[in-house]
Structure 1
Amino acid sequence: MTQPDSYVQRLRRLDCCAVSDALDKLQLPGVVTGLPQRSGAGRIAGRAITVKLGTGAPPAGPVRHLGCTAIEAAGPDHIIVVEQRSGVEAGSWGGLLSLGAKVRGVAGVVADGPVRDIDEAIAFDFPVFSRGLTSFTARGRVVEKGTNVPVEIADVTVAGGDYVLADRSAVIFIAASDIERVLDTAEAIVLKESAMSKAILAGTPIGQVMGGNYEHMLKD
């Protein structure tokens, strides 16, 4: 039995704003906005299984619907990350895929492109974050170009095995090689902000709490 990824467990305890601050401090890319949560509730975290979609002929081999290979490779510590930036309005994800992923225990889906059947994903309580919504099928419009190949999500390149965190503020991608230092930095930021919250609750004026120390916190 596969052991849970300890980095994923730590990432689940953080919100996107804290991790965004950590990336700022470390001068690393990875924050993507404009991919709102369309279904499911709450934060998701996991390792990326990527799916690249595009136009033209699919790769040679047996015919398979887009996303199926990724779902069959995924589990609770995974998020499926889909690139559909072809310019063709066509679903990059749909209802049967949401059901299949839900059955596998997949943490969720992030799609830079439109998704369809979102009411089904809502009914399944399956988390989907996407650039847009559509009713148009992928059939005859876009095909899968590869699974676990590099994909472009906004201006961030994501590889299979990278780490993903998503909530209502943003979607964040962290290269596997950077995950430990990003987590360490974000956890330190959370501790500092927790102390500030306690000070505010204890009656310290907010202007005093959020003074020079707060403004320069990411430079320390």
Structure 2
Amino acid sequence: MTQLSPATREKLKTVSVATLCTALYKRGLRNQFIQDVHPLNPHAGTMVGEAFTLRYIPAREDLNPISVFQDRSHPQRKAVEECPPGAVMVIDSRKDPRAASAGGILVSRLMKRGVAGIVTDGGFRDSPEIAKLGIPAYHNRPSSPTNLTLHQAVDINVPIGCGDVPVWPGDIVVGDGEGVVVIPAHLAEEIATEAVEMTAFEDFVAEEVLSGRSILGLYPPTDPQTHTDFSAWRRANNR
């Protein structure tokens, strides 16, 4: 798995998913925001980590009785114990939240192992309890039945689709109170650096707009005075 540098990880924690999507769009990547996935706790803090994936397929009843969980090599259980600290578990649940991708006990185990977060395009059971844990978690909507009723875990750490976004193991996953974006691993450093610069400018613009300034010539900065004012703002704010 690609290792995210501490410096890049810290940069990504300071920027929004929306800003990252814009930086990716500039490079022609228009489908990196995971659709219909929402934070259980919007105030859990920014989630950043390398993708570690789990893939479900439609369950076949004769291969997926409840006794499969007695097997220590069951893909769901194995993934929970192998997802690296600092990584984000990303689950392909076929965009189907009718059965649970995981529940409170498994997510608690990921948290205790130091995993940075968990994302599914399906749903979690025990979602009120997961929302109270100290780990960012994203899903479509709550699910009560076990995954055995509809889903069958089959693959760990392979390319998947999550909310219509392709996710390769090692891609960088960032989540905030709005949603989740996937950054191709080879672009992570340059995207993070650009997003920090974009955020500084957007913070300046927001202050100017709230003080009553027109957006014309300011956003985008077509007026030369905007660049002068921004430079002065950066010096004053150590940005």
What is the aligned partner in structure 2 of residue 19 from structure 1? 20
Correspondence list, 1:33-182, <5 A = 33-39=35-41, 41-54=44-57, 55-56=59-60, 57=63, 62-85=71-94, 87=96, 89-139=98-148, 141-182=150-191
Aligned amino acid, residue 55 of structure 2: K
Cα displacement string for residues 37-92 of structure 1 (whole angstroms, at most 9, x for unaligned residues): 11362221111110001223479xx5544533223223442111001117582110
Asked if the contact 1:75/1:107 (under 8 Å) is kept, the reply is no
Check 1:121–1:175 CA distance in 2 against 1; reply closer, same or farther (3 A cut).
same
| 5+ long unaligned stretches in structure 2 | 223-239
Q: Could you tell me which of 30, 33, 37 is aligned with 1:31?
A: 33
Question: What is the rounded CA distance, in whole Å, between the counterparts of 1:42 and 1:3 in structure 2?
Answer: 18
CA 1:68–1:212 in structure 2 vs 1: closer, same or farther (change >3 Å)? same
2:97–2:123 contact (8 Å) kept in structure 1:
no
**The residue matched to 1:49 in structure 2 has which SS?**
strand
Deviates further, 189-198 or 155-164: 189-198
Paired residues of 2:75 and 2:156 also in contact (CA < 8 A): no
CA distance in 2, matches of 1:196, 1:38: 30
Greater CA radius of gyration, 1 or 2? 2
CA distance in 1, matches of 2:93, 2:159: 13
Match of 1:48, SS state, is strand
When residues 49 and 5 of structure 1 are mapped into structure 2, their CA distance, relative to the original with a 3 A threshold, is: farther
Distance 1:164 1:213, change over 3 A: same
**TM-score (structure 1 length as normaliser):** 0.82
CA distance in 2, matches of 1:178, 1:3: 11
Check the 8 A contact 1:44/1:166 in 2, yes or no. Answer: yes
Deviation at 1:159? Answer: 1.0
Note the alpha carbon deviations across 1:5-46, whole angstroms, 9 max, x for none: 432222112111110111121211311232111136222111
Q: Take 1:170 and 1:13, find their aligned partners in 2: how far apart are those partners?
A: 15
State the AA in 2 paired with 1:160: P
| Kept after mapping to 1: 8 A contact 2:118/2:136 | yes
**Partner SS state of residue 77, structure 1:** coil
Partner Cα separation in structure 2 for residue 89 and residue 150 of structure 1 = 23
Contact 1:95 1:120 in 2 (8 A): yes
Structure 1 residues without counterparts, runs of 5 or longer: 215-220
Q: Calculate the aligned-residue CA RMSD, in Å.
A: 2.7
- Report whether the alignment pairs 1:184 with 2:193: yes
**Distance 1:88-1:213 versus aligned 2 partners, 3 A rule:** closer
